[in-house]
């Protein structure tokens, strides 16, 4: 459990830090790589406590067994939507994984590890969608917050999210690995810098590797959010990149 990251998310919600949806659209928190939906459920509960039930949580998960668990959680929290899919760079393409993974019980530990090629073959499959397709104008969705837990694929997904990010200017969290996957880390950081986001590092290990960290990216023009982040990080939780 990423306690420090979720403490920041709760603080943002408590301090009314989410951007407002565009007129005529619904606001969404995107939880990509949702696993069994525990994080989506935590966000949904926080939104309910903050009387923000109108904000939806879109939990995107490629493994069917995990999607079944997420769908069960939606019965308790109507503001959660489950989507059996993976995020990628080419909308409408297909991802694969070993069929035997569908027979396992869904849990946070059941994951497709993106840097293990053998887990990208098999008879089970999932559709691949882009962020820009999920949040195209005709969907009437505004992306307020994107939590990308994609095990090294974040830079690829961001390459097909630029239209949405530049339009909606959401808060973005990503996991990067500057030692384990340096090219991924450098690409993500360079992209966020190019679109005028400030990046904060949460100092807790994620992903099972010592160098794994969550990075929280905030548009520099969102002064209220910048105030929240500066207050949180300069209090010793993390560091400013």
Domains and CATH numbers, the chain: 3-240 (3.40.50.150)
pLDDT score of 101: 86
CA 16 to chain centre: 19
User: How many whole angstroms separate alpha carbon 52 and alpha carbon 214?
Assistant: 25
Note the pLDDT tens digit of each residue in 80-119: 999 999 999 999 999 998 888 888 888 877 887 755 666 5
pLDDT score of 115: 52
Note the pLDDT tens digit of each residue in 192-211: 999 999 999 999 998 788 99
pLDDT score of 85: 96
Other CB atoms within a 10 A radius of the CB of residue 223 amount to 9
Note the pLDDT tens digit of each residue in 169-185: 999 999 999 999 999 99
Query: Using an 8 Å Cβ cutoff, are 103 and 64 in contact?
Result: no
């Amino acid at each position: 459990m990423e306690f420090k990251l979720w403490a920041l998310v709760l603080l943002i919600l408590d301090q009314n830090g989410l951007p407002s949806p565009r007129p005529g659209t619904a606001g969404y928190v995107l939880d990509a790589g949702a696993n069994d939906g525990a994080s989506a459920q935590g966000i949904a509960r926080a939104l309910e406590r903050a009387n923000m039930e109108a904000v939806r949580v879109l939990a995107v998960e490629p493994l069917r067994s995990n999607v079944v668990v997420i769908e069960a959680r939606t019965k308790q929290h109507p503001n959660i939507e489950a989507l059996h899919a993976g995020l990628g760079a080419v909308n409408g393409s297909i991802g694969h994984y070993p069929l035997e993974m569908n027979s396992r019980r869904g849990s946070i530990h059941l994951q497709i590890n993106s840097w293990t090629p053998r887990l990208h073959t098999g008879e089970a499959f999932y559709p691949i969608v882009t962020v820009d397709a999920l949040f195209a104008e005709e969907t009437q969705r505004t992306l307020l917050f994107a939590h990308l837990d994609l095990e090294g694929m974040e830079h690829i997904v961001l390459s097909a999210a630029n239209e949405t990010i530049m339009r909606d200017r959401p808060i973005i969290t990503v996991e990067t690995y500057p030692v384990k996957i340096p090219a991924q880390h450098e690409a993500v950081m360079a992209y966020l810098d190019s679109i005028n986001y400030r990046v904060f590092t949460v100092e807790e290990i994620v992903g099972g590797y010592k160098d794994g960290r969550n990075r929280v990216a905030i548009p520099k023009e969102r002064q209220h959010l910048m105030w929240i982040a500066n207050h949180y990080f300069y209090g010793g939780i993390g560091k400013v990149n």
